[in-house]
Amino acid sequence: MGLIQAVKGAVGGMLGDQWKDFLTIPDGLAPTAALFAAVPRGTNAGRGSNVHGSANIISNGSKIVVPEGYGLLLMQDGKITALAAEPGGYEWRSDDSQSKSIFAGDGLLDSLVLQSWERFKFGGIPGSQQLAFFVSLKELPDNRFGTQSEIYWDDGFLGTQVGAITRGSYTLKIVDPILFVKNFVPASYLQPGRVFDFTDLDNPAATQLFNEVVASLAPAFSRYTNDPAKGNRITRIQQDSVGFAQSLAEAVEAGYHWKAERGLTIVKTAIVAIEYDANTRELLKTVQRADALSGARGNSNLQASVAQGIQSAGENGGAAGIVGLGMASGMLGGIGGLQQPATPAGDDPVAKLKKAKEMLDLGLITQADYDALKAKALGL
C-alpha cells in the first residue's frame, strides 16, 4: 500500500505522452516557495497547460510526477502516509504488495528521513484517498536578518568584547521534510491554494525563524572569531559565506534545534554590512597599525625613524642635539647595515648594553639586532 516508482530520475516528454492525467508542481512558483499542494495537469487543455487547479486529492491509480529538487508528501487526516524524495514518476496503489511508503533519496536526506519515518509513520491502513503536497529540497534564498542596535560578543583576536550592527541574508534548506511538516508548518498551509514561503512577511512561522536568527547572531560571531581555523579575524566574515553560515547554523541549532526538531538548516550567508561601534573601530585601527609595524616592514619603519631622528638631531645642534645623536648612534650598529659613527673612547659598554636591552624589551629592535650590538660593545 503506497507509491510505486514507475520512472526514476528526470521525467521527459515520453512519460507525459503516456500519462495524460497526472499531478505535479504548479507553474510560476517563487524560488522561495517551500511547501504547496500538488495540482492536476490534464488532457482537457493539452498536456502542460492546465496547471492552475487546486484539487490535490489522489486515489487508487493516481499518477504523480516529482521534478528534480522537490519531494512529494502524501497525507491523510493530518498524518503523513508516504514520502518520495527522489525525482521521477509515481503511481499511488492502495492494494499492491509492491508499493512503498517512502523513497528517501541519497546522502544526508536518506539517513535523516528514515529516522523520522520510523518515529512518525502512519500506524493504520491508509485509505484510498490522499492529499498530495510538494516540499522544496533546494536551497531557499533571500532570507533576511538584521539588527537595529549593536550586538556584542567576546572576540578571540582582539581579546575583548566588541559590538556591531549587522545585516545580511542566508539560504535555508529543508533536510527532513517529515520533521518540517509535522513539527513546524502551521495547519493552515496544508490545504490547496496555500504556499508556505519563508520570505512571506505575513507568515508567523517565518517571523519566528527571523527572530531566532537575530538572537543567534552574537553567539555565531563569537563562535567564528574564536575558532582558530578561521584565523580569529572578524574582518574575514564578510568574505567567508560558508564558514560563517556554519557558525550561524551551529548557534541556531544550539539555541533552537532547527535541524533536530524542524528539519531545517542554514547553508550559506551573505553579510551585506557590519557597522562596528566606536570602541571596536578604535581597536581595529590599533590592530591595523600593529600589523603594519610587524615583521620586515616593521624593521624598515624602525630604521627609517631612527635615521630621521639622527638627521634631526644633527640639524638642531646644541646640547640636546648632541645627546640625541649620541643615543641614536649607540643603537644603530646592527640595524639594517646602517653605519655607526665613530664611538668615543670613553663610552661605557655596560651602559650601551643596558640601553640596547631596554630597546629590545620595548620591541624597537630584534634579538638579532641586540646580539650584534652586544658583540660590538664587548669587542667580540
For 314-323, the pLDDT digits (tens) are: 555 544 444 4
Distance CA 29, CA 24 (A): 12
pLDDT averaged over every residue in the chain? 80
Distance CA 289, CA 195 (A): 53
Q: Is the pLDDT of residue 3 over 70?
A: yes
Q: Is the pLDDT of residue 44 over 50?
A: no
* Number of Cβ within a 10 Å radius of residue 198: 23
Among the listed ranges 52-56, 168-172, 178-182, 199-203, which one has the minimum average pLDDT value?
Answer: 52-56
For 248-296, the pLDDT digits (tens) are: 999 999 999 999 999 999 999 999 888 999 998 888 888 777 766 665 5
How much is the pLDDT for 255?
Answer: 96
Q: Is the pLDDT of residue 325 over 90?
A: no
Q: 174 or 365: which carries more pLDDT confidence?
A: 174
∠ CA 164-170-172 to the nearest 5 degrees?
145
306 in Cβ contact with 332 (< 8 Å): yes
Q: Is the pLDDT of residue 12 over 90?
A: no
Angle between helices 295-316 and 278-292 (to 10 degrees): 80
| Domains of the chain, first to last | 2-136 (no CATH), 139-188+197-284 (3.30.479), 293-377 (no CATH)
Q: Is 133 exposed, middle or buried (0-12, 13-18, 19+ CB in 10 A)?
A: buried
Q: 117 or 196: which carries more pLDDT confidence?
A: 196
Distance CA 3, CA 364 (A): 77
Distance CA 183, CA 259 (A): 11
Confidence of residue 111 (pLDDT cuts 50, 70, 90): confident
Phi, then psi, of 174 in degrees rounded to 5 = -90, 110
Set of cell numbers at residue 294: 610587524
The DSSP secondary-structure symbol of 259 reads I
Q: Is the pLDDT of residue 217 over 90?
A: yes
How much is the pLDDT for 90?
Answer: 93
For 131-158, the pLDDT digits (tens) are: 999 999 999 999 999 998 999 988 877 7
Q: Is the pLDDT of residue 231 over 90?
A: no
How much is the pLDDT for 131?
Answer: 93
